[in-house]
Structure formats: C-alpha cells, structure tokens
Amino acid sequence: MIGLVLEQALNGLQLGVTLFLMAAGLTLVFGIMNFVNLAHGSLYMVGAYLWVAIAKLTGSYLAGVALALAGTLVVGMAVERVALRTLYERDHLDQVLATFGLILVFNELVAMLWGRSALYASLPAWLGGHVEIGALRYPVYRLAIIAVGLAVAALLWWVVVRTRLGMLIRAGASNRTMVAALGVNIQRLYTLVFGFGAALAGLAGIMAGPIYSVQPGMGELVLIQVFVVIVIGGIGSIRGALVGAVIVGMVDTLGRAFLKPALATVWSPVVADTAGPALASMLIYVLMAAVLALRPEGLFPARA
C-alpha cells in the first residue's frame, strides 16, 4: 500500500513538473506582454512531433531532444513576429480568438505532415529501465522527467532573479514604457521571451511524448489543465505556477488513483463505481473553484 501511494505521488509530481513547464511559459508571456496565448498547447504539440520526427530520422534520442527544442524556439519566435506582435495592445478577447485560430492551423499542419493517427517512439535503453525504491519498481524515465523539471525550475529562478536578462524581464513586466525609454529594444525582448516560453512548452511536449500518445489536438487538454494551474497559482507569478502545478498534478493523479477505493469504503462499491471516475476528473476544477472563492487573485498574486 505504501509502495502504491509512493508510486502515485511520484506520478503526480511528474505530471506537476510537466504542467509547470507549460504554465511558466504562459504566465511569463502574460506577465510581461499582457498577452493570452491559447496556442501555447500547440507549441507543446509541435515539440512532441519534432522530437518524434527527428529522433526517427537521426536515430538519436538526444539529437531529437536538442533539435526539437531549437525548433519550437524558432516556431514560437516566428509566430510572434508574423501574427501575434500586433495583438499586444488589443483586447484579451481578440488575442484569445486569434490564438484559437492558430490552434486549428497547427493541428491541421501537423495532420498534413504526419497524418492524423497517433505516433509512438521508443526510448533509448538508458532511459527505458526501472529503479528499485524499497519495494517499488519505478521507471527511470519518469524520474528523469521530475529531475529535469525541477532543474529547469531552478534555472528559471536563476535567470529571472540573478541575470541581466531576468532584470529586463522583470522591469518590462512592471513598466514597459519606461524600459523602452531607457533604450532597451523591447520588441526584441518580447520576441525572446515568447520564444523562450515556446521552448519550455516544447520541452514539456518532448518529455510527455513517450508517455502519452503524440497526435493532433494533444495540446488542448493540457492547456485547460495549465489554465487551472495558473488560476490557482496566481497569474504572472512563476512561483505560483510551480506551486499550482504541483498541487494540480498531485490532486489529479491521487484523485484518479484513490478516490474510487476511498468512496467504496464509505458508500457501496456501486456508488464508487459510478461516482468515482466522474468526481476524480472534476476534482481539479472543484479545487480551482474553492481557491477562487477564498482568494480570487490566486495563491501567489504577482502584483499586490
């Protein structure tokens, strides 16, 4: 039983760090450019597809990861330059609409290039094994995801708080006109931040690729979960994104694993069978509603 709880908790953490990579990019772009990007999920999908395609072509897992990361960075920056740049000053609803259009475009592009059925790619031997943690055999790959996710979180903290680029990012978030007046090329900064966020989403997609299926539309479901993360954590806050992501990952995973048996002990198994899965899939939204009722600004509001 302890082994099972540990396994599910690790799975929850793994989902949490994946969501964090997505949420960090989205919240960064929102905090700095005041821009809502529904197509963030599409960048997640683009990352996963590029990885599968390149890994198959070169036969090397790491080359696939590196090139797919660079690829999503470029795709993100190109989309920002071509389509999204003029939308920063617009209403949020316009941004939502334009990026919703981009979702359709990306989904169909991917379907044109690689077909509509799901793709699978195998992991290299050094990531494919299991490790023993007490009585539990846990996949190395999922542990690697947790490690990479936490490392990226630390790196992100370092970049934002300790480097010159991070200083500019923070300055741009609090007063963009002033930053531009001081001689910083704010357009280039925006493109850079957008590409950076895209690469983070791409990384999430690359890492999720071997676990879930890679198919058109895979970004949409994740995107809504990421919204829940951001609403819980507080929009524009990276710390909030991390805390929110881990909470959502844990609640969702543990809910799906243990809600049904827990209900079965309280009520009859029949009730648990019907209500369990429904409740488990709604759990994170209920959590979101509860957080909103108590703290409408989220747990870590970016600007007080």
Partner 1 sequence: MKLAPRTLALVAVLVLFAVVPPLVAAFGQPFYLDLFRRIMIFAIAAVSLNLILAYAVGVLAHHGLTSGLVQWALAIGASALVAAAIGAISIRTSGIYFIMITLAFSQMLYYLGVSIEEYGGDDGMRVKTLSQFPAGLDLADPVTFYYLVFALLVLVLWFTNRLVRSRFGMVIRAAKSNEARSRALGFSPYPYRLVAFTIAGAMCGLAGALLVNHTAYLTPEFMNWTRSGELLFMVILGGAGTGAGPVFGAAGLLLLEDLLQGWSLLPQGMRAYWQFWLGLVLVLVVLFARRGLAGLLRGSADE
Q: Which residues bind partner 1 (CB under 8 A)?
A: 30, 36, 38, 83, 86-87, 92-94, 96-98, 100-109, 111-112, 220, 224, 227-228, 230-231, 235, 274, 277-278, 281-282, 285-286, 288-289, 292-293, 296
Residues 6+ apart with CB under 8 A from 201: 21, 22, 25, 26, 40, 41, 43, 44, 47, 72, 76
Q: How far is the CB of 291 from partner 1 (least distance, A)?
A: 10
**Is-contact 221 236, C-beta < 8 A?**
no
The span from the CA of 268 to the CA of 239, in Å, is 41
Compare residues 67 and 288 and give the one whose CB is closer to partner 1: 288
What are residue 133's phi and psi, to 5 degrees?
A: -115, 100
Residue among 77 and 146 whose Cβ is closer to partner 1: 77
Q: How far is the CB of 5 from partner 1 (least distance, A)?
A: 24
Q: How far is the CB of 8 from partner 1 (least distance, A)?
A: 19
| Cβ 227 to partner 1 shortest distance, Å | 4
Q: Record the tokens describing residue 201, joined without a space.
A: 């989403």
Least Å distance, CB 233 to partner 1, is 12
Nearer to partner 1, 267 or 285 (CB): 285
At closest approach, how far in Å is the CB of 161 from partner 1?
Answer: 25
| Residue number with CB closer to partner 1 (94 or 137) | 94
Burial class (CB in 10 A: 0-12, 13-18, 19+), 80: buried
| Closest CB to partner 1 among residues 62, 112 | 112
Helix axes 2-33, 164-174, angle to 10 degrees: 70
Nearest to partner 1 of 54, 103 (CB atom): 103
Closest alpha carbon to 31 in 274, 246, 205, 196: 196
Q: How far is the CB of 217 from partner 1 (least distance, A)?
A: 9
Query: With respect to partner 1, which residue has the nearer C-beta, 21 or 284?
Result: 284
Please give the backbone phi and psi of residue 138, each rounded to the nearest 5 degrees, phi first: -120, 140
Give the bridge partners for 119, in sequence order.
214
Chain CA centroid to CA 300, Å: 18
CA distance 90 to 88: 6
Tell me how far, at minimum, the Cβ of 76 lies from partner 1, in Å: 16
**Sign of the dihedral through C-alpha 89, 94, 95, 96:** positive
Comparing CB distances to partner 1, the nearer of 158 and 285 is: 285
Tokens describing residue 235 = 């929009």
